[in-house]
Amino acid sequence: METRTALVTGAAQGLGQEFAVALAGRGYRVAGLDLVPQRETAGRILDYLELVADVTDEEAVRAELERVVDQFGTLHVVVNNAGVYPSKPFEETTAEDWRRVMRVNLEAPFLVTQAALPYLKAAGWGRVVNIASAAVFTAPPTMVPYVASKMGLIGFTRALAAALAPHGITVNAIAPTMVRTATAERTVGADGGFASVRAGQAVDRTQEPADLVSTLLYVVDEGSGFLTGQTLNVSGGSAYL
């Protein structure tokens, strides 16, 4: 089997970094796309292409995708992981707050996937993985734009799965709960924020990036071609309580 190539957005740290490292460990050549340099990620992966661009900039995204194919020759997997999740009372949420969340969490996966599509089609095999959130089920009241954007991403996943199935490309979403990352710690503050999330889970611990790796590898696996249009809720049971 030819060596596969994967693109991970938001790969500089946290969940995106763990996804990039896991895919490299499974034999993929990996490109990471982030707004900032990815020195730490690049230091953990031998054959890593570092792409620095704004995922909401259509021209920049297309240019960086061309770099991936120039270096690796093809592209098979796209992981739309980049996202923002500000916490603010709805009454204090501005229209610009709303637009920013929608641009990064919903429009960027559209732009990245559309730019990647010609290469996935040319490869004759592909996997698109969108990182949604269990917040669409738990609906935290201070994250209205975030919940709306992630619910939109789930709809995008389902519709795109039907559109791309004839090309041998699957599209699925993974919905974690609050994952312990530097960004999450800045958003929810001290451990009290994580504790409130844990209180609504069946699994009594904070989710770590490593908890999502096996799900990602399952979704992109060669043998998972019959799985498409689905949202896998990996949230410690939080949506069922």
Place of tokens 């960027």: 108
Token pair recorded at residue 148: 């709306």
Q: Cα(89)–Cα(142) distance, rounded to whole angstroms?
A: 5
Active site residue 146: yes
Q: Cα(48)–Cα(38) distance, rounded to whole angstroms?
A: 10
Q: Cα(101)–Cα(15) distance, rounded to whole angstroms?
A: 18
DSSP letter at 200?
Answer: T
Q: Cα(206)–Cα(30) distance, rounded to whole angstroms?
A: 28
CB 49 within 8 A of CB 56: no
Q: How far is CA 174 from CA 119, 181, 197, 212, in A?
A: 23, 17, 18, 8
Give the containing element (helix H, strand E) for 1: none
Q: Shortest CA distance to 227 belongs to which of 149, 174, 156?
A: 174
29 forms beta bridges with 5
Pairing of strands 77-80, 5-9: parallel
48, 119, 146, 218: the catalytic one is 146
Catalytic positions:
146
